[in-house]
Structure 1
Amino acid sequence: CRNGLLVIRDDPEGLEFPWGPKPFREVIAGPLLRNNGQSLESSSLEGSHVGVYFSAHWCPPCRSLTRVLVESYRKIKEAGQNFEIIFVSADRSEESFKQYFSEMPWLAVPYTDEARRSRLNRLYGIQDSEDDGESEAAKQLIQPIAEKIIAQYKAKEEDAPLLFFVAGEDDMTDSLRDYTNLPEAAPLLTILDMSARAKYVMDVEEITPAIVEAFVNDFLAEKLKPEPI
């Protein structure tokens, strides 16, 4: 049902009817970009080994893989192999896409070509949002720290000054991110003081219990510098 809705969204006039699985060469057909602004037609890759890289800047495992993949890609190209990678972005904005793509030496489907990116996602069964397992792992990481801090204030018969939550990929999170002008990076540790219209942000490669606890303790000790919302 979900794929059916996406098909209709991408082809409202029915120009590609009958709808059904299409070969890769048809789905990818069109211009591809390099991060220097140059473009070439996908047909020029005929006869090449092609890897399709679904990734996004907000995804920490993706960013880690990208660094490794860049090294492997360059070694393969230096060896004279007929090989290319095509990046299919799941970034939330064109600005994030450009920032992330600037790190990549290979090709990309233009970010503005949403229909082609969507067709490639469907072709390979790629989900649009982060895996629920990542959110659950984040909850398990943060919960002991939250319980510890809440217990400390409860022992003093005081209300805890913080509420803890894990935000995933959904409309509510996007709205909150837009309203508070948070960066696209993930994982992202954030404390929002809505009454003071202030935010405290830590962009890290990996969130660990020690980092979370230090971040919260620095906030409670008023060691962090607020940014305006």
Structure 2
Amino acid sequence: MNEKTKWHDRLFGKKLIKCDSTNNSNDFNTFPTNEVLKNVQIIGLYFNFANINTQSDDFLKKLRDLYEKLNAGCLNGDADKRIEVIQVVMWAHNDNYGDFEMSHRDSLLGLPWFAMPFSEINLKTRLSRRYRIKSGVPTLVLLDKDGSTVSISAHERLVEDPNGTNFPWRPRPVDEVLKDVVLQPGGSYYQDHPNGIKGDIRYIDVPDGVRGFYFSAHWCPPCKAFTPHLAEAYKMIRKREPNFEIILVSSDRSAESYSAYVESMPWLSVPFQQASVRAELAQLYGIRGIPTLLLLDSNGHVITMDARSEIAEDPLAQNFPWKPRAVNILTDRFLTKLHDFPSIVLFVDAEETEIQFAESVLLPAATNYYKMNNINISSVSEDRLFSTCDHDDYFLQFLIGTDNESTDILRDLTGLDDVVPLLVAIDLPNRRYATMEYGLEITTDSVNDFVRKFQKNDLKFKDISEEGVENAENL
């Protein structure tokens, strides 16, 4: 198997089970993942939840009908399969459901496709985070043969197009979605845009620059709490970056609610009556909850899907537009990524001088590491950085742990003493960690050496306990 196909194993494991078992044992026939996906045009990841009644799942029937229809012409093996489905069975909540392994088996019996084995619990959890799967909501994600994402909202598209007329439902780019839409100025738009267009404003009229799409609603309390902070940040940013613009994509349930919400907003919005456009934008970016603020660069590529958190951590917007950085402060959102990628963490006191010291010794090692692995950390968007398959084997985070809740959680997870400075390699996917030798001075050279040893698997690793890993699932 060549390098280009290794992503199969990284995402789904080396073996898949065939779901059409009809025997009474708990064993399904297994096949190598790379063989299952060797001649497949589109891969469908079907996330379902075993402790939700699936017997009457109308979507499952639609998916099965589509699967059989699309593959009807390639049963003899002469042509590529148009779609192969890999079912990912999960649980909506860890209640006292009974025999989890048996319920997993029951969810798969008689289906015509493949599934990830029950034992691949960590990989399933990782996939659910990767594609932002909402607990209890069956979801269909489509991938191209190279592992790139075609659609993370294929569930909705199948419901709309059960015959697969437009399969694989490749999303239209944002400029095409908004091509014929006249955007609505917010109530205070012209106060902030005194020289703005007074007539119809279309997406093509928005100046080249960073663009934000704000998915929000008047009825949503967290949205109403965040919107004033966003407005302040928006005005600060526009003083430095006058081409920055935000477009509201509302989830309001009535025109009156929408109108009341946009009255005080200084940016543009997709009109309430453009319901299909608002829905298509939400599908395009896989929006799972509100409020969500995502930023696009001038080429339409996602810079970050979580600008809301960036504003909370950087209220003066000093690091706008918050492109991925080689070294980051350990916060909740980086803590969650520990499930997917190992990290080099330097714990220090919260004083500014200590944080500057930590960055000064971590940054050269991080820069060297990314250069060696051909990762351009400054130009790749966060969304692609943390989802592209080519980086899965070797992407490494570099973090500064200060005196905050995220640091406390990580110390509790690994059982580390409250010592600073302390350099640690956290490899949660492999349930292990290693610390730099006590007494060894932390310098640029010693950090570089520590990273090299990590890459060569030459550190003295300690196991993270089962209890710690279970607690980490709640991060």
Greater helix proportion: 1
The higher relative CO (CA closer than 8 Å, separation ≥ 6) is in 1
TM-score of the aligned structures, taking structure 1 as reference length: 0.48
Structure with higher Rg: it is: 2
